[in-house]
Amino acid sequence: MYKSFYKLQRNPFEITPDPSFLFPTTRHNEALASLYYGVTAHRGFVVLTGEVGTGKTLILRSLLGLLQRREVAFALIFNPSLSPLEFIRYILGDFGLPTKGKAKDEMIHELNEFLLQRHQKRLTTMLVVDEAHHLSPEVLEEIRLLTNLETSQQKLLQIVLAGQPEFDQKLDSHELRQLKQRIALRCHLEAFTLDETRQYMNRRLQIAGAAAENQIFSGATMEAVFRHSRGIPRLINTISENSLLAGYAKQAAAITPEIVDGVARDLRLTVAAPDPKSVDLKSNGGSHPSKISEKVSEREQKEQNELLLAVKTLLEVHDRMQRNESKGRLQ
99 with 87: CB under 8 angstroms?
no
Which comes out higher in pLDDT, residue 144 or 274? 144
Encode pLDDT of 220-232 as tens digits: 999 999 999 999 9
Q: How confident is the model at residue 295 (pLDDT cuts 50, 70, 90)?
A: very low
Q: Which long-range contacts (CB under 8 A, 24 or more apart) does 172-177 make?
A: 173/137, 175/137, 176/137, 176/140
CB atoms within 10 A of CB 269: 18
- Phi first, then psi, for residue 131 (nearest 5°) are 55, 40
221 with 246: CB under 8 angstroms?
no
Residue type at 285 in one-letter notation: G
CA dihedral angle for residue 53, residue 55, residue 57, residue 63, rounded to 10 degrees? 180
Distances (CA, A) of 309 to 1, 33, 52: 41, 8, 28
Tell me how far apart the alpha carbons of residues 47 and 130 are, in angstroms, rounded to a whole number. 10
- Kindly state the average pLDDT of the residues 86-105: 94
| pLDDT, position 292 | 40
Residue 328 has pLDDT above 90, yes or no: no
Q: What are the E-state strand segments in the chain?
A: 45-50, 73-77, 125-129, 158-163, 185-189
Show the domains of the chain with their CATH numbers.
Answer: 26-191+288-304 (3.40.50.300), 192-266 (1.10.8.60)
| SS3 call for 95 | coil
